[in-house]
Structure 1
């Protein structure tokens, strides 16, 4: 039962990654996403700064092929020192 999911794969799955607005944040997030979802195009990314400009939210829509893949991506993103939160 642990392998069951309510999602059907493959599917497009949006992730919102938030962190400090530092120059290397987007590049680091893109490297992590590329390791788990190779070939994710730059057009899949959008970003928005907070009103005060201290934080950046990056949304990336990935083509997910399994729950295991999404879980591994989520774990690596949340382990990144530049990432504050992943939704």
Structure 2
């Protein structure tokens, strides 16, 4: 009789870990916004490279989209990163 197989939580995800994972963060175009987003990204991915950040201004110039690409290592890491970004006062939307 075989021992019961332990469930692999990675099989519940469509993402293969580790992988490069882009996250788009939108907020008001304000001093410190990009720094706040990159600081949080670096907390969750110590190898995060800020030179890969992509910025896109809204048509009216009031909002800024910041795309950060992190090395995703687990579903838990991504969930906590999304929660942390979403709870930041400068952030309006995280995709």
Fold shared, TM-score > 0.5 on shorter chain? yes
Separation in structure 1 between the aligned mates of residue 89 and residue 67 of structure 2, nearest angstrom: 18
Q: Which has the higher contact order (CA 8 A, sep 6+)?
A: 1
44, 58, 77: which is aligned to 1:36? 44
Runs of 4+ in 1 over 6 A off after TM superposition: none
Which consecutive residues of structure 1, in runs of 5 or more, have no partner in the other structure?
none
Which has more radius of gyration?
A: 2
Taking only aligned residues, the RMSD between alpha carbons, in angstroms, comes to: 1.2
Q: Distance in 2 between matches of 1:40 and 1:7?
A: 19
Structure 2 gaps of 5+ residues are 1-6
Counting only pairs closer than 5 Å after superposition, residues 52-63 of structure 1 correspond to structure 2 as 52-63=60-71
What is the TM-score when the length of structure 1 is the normalising length?
0.92
